[in-house]
Structure formats: C-alpha cells, structure tokens
C-alpha cells in the first residue's frame, strides 16, 4: 500500500508508546475514601467491597500513615453511626464529640500533612437514611431546614480538622450557606469540594451497606430522586455544577465516575475549577466480582478504569483502589 500516514508507527515499541502517552494516573491524583467505626475492635470487612473495612480510629490512623507513605495526598472519611445515635433530624451530624470529628482530630494530629475531606450529608445520621430532614408525612426532604443543619455540620467538621468539607447531599443553596457559615466562624481557609453532579445511582448499593444508611431504611435502593440527579440529564448536571461554582465551591465533583465520563468531559470543557470524579462502591464491586469469576483481569481493569476517569478530564479521583493503585504506581 502507498500510505504516507501510518498511525501504527507511534505504537510500534514500548518506548514510543510510553513517550506519546497522553494521560497518566499518579498517586497524587487519588483520594482514599475510608470507613470509620465507634468501637476499638479489629477491622470489620465490608462484604460487598472486598478489601475495604470499617476501621477503629486507631486503625484509621495507621491506614492514613500508610497512604501518606504511598504518596496519596488525601482521604475522605465516612463515619458509621450506630442505630441508637440516629434520629429523624440527624442531630448527631452536628455533635463536636461525634465519631467524624473525633476521627478528623486523631488523623490531623498523627498525619498533619494529609488532606482531610469530611463528607457533609445527613444520611449516616438519620433514622430513615435520607440525606435530609423529612416533612411531616415523610413524603419529601425539606430543603432549607436541611441546609441549616448542613452548615452547622460543616463548621463542626472544619473546626475538628477537615481541610475540605464535601457536601454530598444535593440540597439547593447549600454551597453558599456553607461558605457563609465557615467564613462567619473564621474558617476562611477551609475549602469546599462540592458533589455537584451527584446522580441518583444504583451504583451506591455497597456503600449504603458499609455506612448502614441502607439498613436504616430497610433497603439498598432508597429513593433519592427528589434531590440526586436524573441519570438521563447532562445539561442539568452542568447547570447545577456552575451554580455550585458561583456559590463558592473550590472544586467540583461528578459522581459516579465511570458511567458518567461524558459529564466529566463536558464539565472539564466548561469550568476552570479542578474536577474530582468519585469512582463509587458499585464500580469497585463490579470489577472485583467479575475478576472473582475469572471473567476480567483484575489489575488491568482497575488501572484502565482509573485512567479513563483521568482521560475524561478528572484532576482528582476518589477511589477505593487508592491504596493498591498507589502501591503499584510508586510515590
Ligand atoms: C451520601 C453518600 C453516598 C455516597 C457517598 N456519600 C451514597 C448515597 O447517596 O446514598 C456513595 C459512595 C459510594 O457508593 O461509594 N451522602
């Protein structure tokens, strides 16, 4: 054939492939989500998330030391609240002596250089498992009273040592309210990572088992469609993310990640803020399950899933693979 252009030339050896590689995942891109429990007992494995455990504060601190050694710059903490501390209003979320703040203080003291992200939402604390306060007959999540609680929760967690608060509730106006509350408390350096485009996804199933927000409601498929986004909507996702930016978010998140690469890309082309992608529990469980069946190569699928998020435009990836991926990548 008389071809002038032969695209395979730049794929012909390992050296040239390495040289023209456009996207790389490094340990510095990763945030590890970690689950923390009240008691001092040994780690409790989460069945649907192989390799992930609920950790005591002491074990959490050890894990954070390891992660920092591996070059992972940040962790996102998710406390598991015992049922007896839950109520319909999620009041435990604002308790300065609660598990979340205690965990933040312990990690901040032991590993001061590690960035701490505190999830801000009421679902781990409400007896019904929703991310907000319900109306009288339980048919709706009330926006404005929920935002008031979230703003107080954010201040409590920032004071305990969170470098960033990460509202994951999807109430209207919460970014602006949280920013004002932080500033009024003198916490002008605490950042906000906004879960901006958070979809009402079936991929959160294993997480709800892990934090116990599923058992509270008696189901893994608690219906959050009146606040989380319709998976069918792209324009709406970009619109809401830009609102979060206007209200003062420092970084924007798309969640889940893998099934929503188009949203990540469009947001990347629309905003100048850093973008985080959350590779959620169901994405993690899927790869583990298929690998266990012998149907997928575990490490290759894991690495490709992370690379795809980066290629789509994510600067930061929250992933349960953080520790092992970082171990493979080197610091
Ligand atoms: C809730 C919250 C959820 C996740 C993080 N924060 C789940 C939900 O909306 O029910 C999911 C994370 C995952 O699936 O890994 N505020």
pLDDT, tens digit, 9 for 90 and up, residues 112-127? 999 999 999 999 999 9
C-beta separation of 310 from 317 below 8 A: yes
- pLDDT given at position 264: 98
Contacts of 219 (CB under 8 A, 6+ apart): none
Q: Average pLDDT for residues 89-107, to the nearest whole number?
A: 97
Average pLDDT of the residues of the chain? 95
Catalytic residue (choose from 37, 86, 198, 310): 198
Nearest-10 Cα torsion for 25, 331, 300, 318: -60
State whether residue 38 is helix, strand or coil. Answer: coil
**Mutation pick for ligand 1 pocket among 123, 131, 193 (CB with most ligand atoms within 8 Å):** 123
CA 53 to CA 30: how far, in whole Å? 19
CA 285 to CA 147: how far, in whole Å? 32
Catalytic residue (choose from 37, 86, 224, 255): 255
For residue 86, indicate whether it is catalytic.
Answer: no
Please determine, for residue 229, whether its predicted confidence score (pLDDT) is greater than 70.
Answer: yes
CA 116 to CA 165: how far, in whole Å? 8
Taken as a whole, the chain contains a residue count of 331
pLDDT bin (cut points 50, 70, 90) of residue 110 is very high
DSSP state of 86: -
DSSP state of 25: -
Please determine, for residue 329, whether its predicted confidence score (pLDDT) is greater than 80.
Answer: no
Please determine, for residue 222, whether its predicted confidence score (pLDDT) is greater than 90.
Answer: no
The residue extents of the domains of the chain are 23-329
- pLDDT given at position 218: 46
**Mutation pick for ligand 1 pocket among 51, 76, 207, 258 (CB with most ligand atoms within 8 Å):** 207
- pLDDT given at position 291: 97
What CATH number labels 23-329? 3.20.20.70
**Mutation pick for ligand 1 pocket among 75, 79, 208 (CB with most ligand atoms within 8 Å):** 208
Give 188-217 pLDDT, tens digit per residue.
999 999 999 999 999 999 998 887 766 544
Give 285-310 pLDDT, tens digit per residue.
999 999 999 999 999 999 999 999 99
Tell how far the Cα of 177 is from the centroid of ligand 1, in angstroms. Answer: 21
pLDDT bin (cut points 50, 70, 90) of residue 221 is low
Residue 176 host element (H or E)? helix 174-184
Tell how far the Cα of 146 is from the centroid of ligand 1, in angstroms. Answer: 17
Tell how far the Cα of 17 is from the centroid of ligand 1, in angstroms. Answer: 37
Q: Which atom of ligand 1 has the smallest separation from the CA of 280?
A: 15
For residue 255, indicate whether it is catalytic.
Answer: yes
Give 126-135 pLDDT, tens digit per residue.
999 999 999 9
Give 231-289 pLDDT, tens digit per residue.
999 999 999 999 999 999 999 999 999 999 999 999 999 999 999 999 999 999 999 99
DSSP string for residues in 100-134? HHHHHHHHHHH-TTSEEEEEE-STTTBTT--SSEE
- pLDDT given at position 217: 46
**How many other β-carbons are positioned within 10 Å of the β-carbon of residue 22?**
6
Please determine, for residue 331, whether its predicted confidence score (pLDDT) is greater than 50.
Answer: no
Q: Which atom of ligand 1 has the smallest separation from the CA of 281?
A: 15
Tell how far the Cα of 209 is from the centroid of ligand 1, in angstroms. Answer: 10
Please determine, for residue 220, whether its predicted confidence score (pLDDT) is greater than 90.
Answer: no
pTM of the model: 0.95
- pLDDT given at position 205: 92
- Residue ranges lining ligand 1, Cβ < 6 Å: 119, 121, 123, 131, 168, 204, 207-208, 213, 224, 280-281
CA 116 to CA 179: how far, in whole Å? 17
- pLDDT given at position 210: 81
Q: Whose CA is nearest to atom 2 of ligand 1?
A: 168
C-beta separation of 310 from 318 below 8 A: no
Q: Whose CA is nearest to atom 7 of ligand 1?
A: 204
- pLDDT given at position 98: 97
Q: Average pLDDT for residues 45-66, to the nearest whole number?
A: 97
Residue 266 host element (H or E)? helix 261-268
Q: Which atom of ligand 1 has the smallest separation from the CA of 228?
A: 9
Q: Whose CA is nearest to atom 9 of ligand 1?
A: 204
């Amino acid at each position: 054939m008389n071809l002038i252009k032969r695209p395979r030339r730049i794929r012909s050896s390992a050296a040239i492939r390495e040289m023209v590689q456009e996207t790389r995942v490094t340990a510095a891109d990763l945030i590890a989500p970690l689950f923390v429990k009240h008691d001092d007992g040994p780690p409790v494995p989460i069945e649907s998330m192989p390799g992930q455990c609920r950790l005591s504060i002491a074990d959490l601190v050890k894990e954070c030391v390891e992660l920092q050694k591996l070059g992972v710059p940040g962790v996102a903490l998710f406390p598991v609240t015992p049922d007896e501390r839950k109520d319909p209003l999620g009041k435990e979320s604002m308790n300065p002596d609660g598990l979340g703040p205690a965990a933040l203080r312990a990690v901040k003291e032991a590993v001061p250089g590690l960035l701490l992200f505190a999830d801000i939402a009421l679902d781990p604390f409400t007896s019904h498992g929703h991310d907000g306060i319900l109306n009288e007959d339980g048919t709706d999540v009330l926006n404005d009273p929920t935002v008031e609680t979230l703003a107080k929760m954010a201040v409590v967690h920032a004071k305990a040592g969170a470098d960033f608060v990460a509202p994951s509730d999807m109430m209207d106006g919460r970014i602006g309210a949280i920013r004002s509350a932080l500033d009024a408390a003198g916490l002008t350096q605490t950042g906000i990572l906004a879960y901006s485009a958070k979809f009402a996804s079936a991929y959160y199933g294993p997480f709800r088992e892990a934090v116990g927000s599923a058992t509270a409601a008696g189901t893994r498929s608690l219906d959050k469609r009146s606040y989380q986004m319709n998976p069918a909507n792209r324009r709406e996702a970009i619109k809401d993310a830009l609102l979060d930016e206007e209200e003062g978010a420092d970084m924007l998140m798309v969640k889940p990640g893998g099934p929503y690469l188009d949203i990540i890309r469009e947001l990347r082309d629309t905003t100048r803020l850093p973008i985080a992608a959350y590779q959620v529990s169901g994405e993690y469980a899927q790869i583990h399950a298929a690998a266990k069946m012998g149907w997928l190569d575990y490490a290759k699928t894991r690495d490709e899933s992370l690379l795809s998020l980066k290629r789509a435009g994510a600067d930061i990836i929250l992933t349960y693979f953080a520790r092992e991926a970082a171990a493979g990548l080197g610091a």
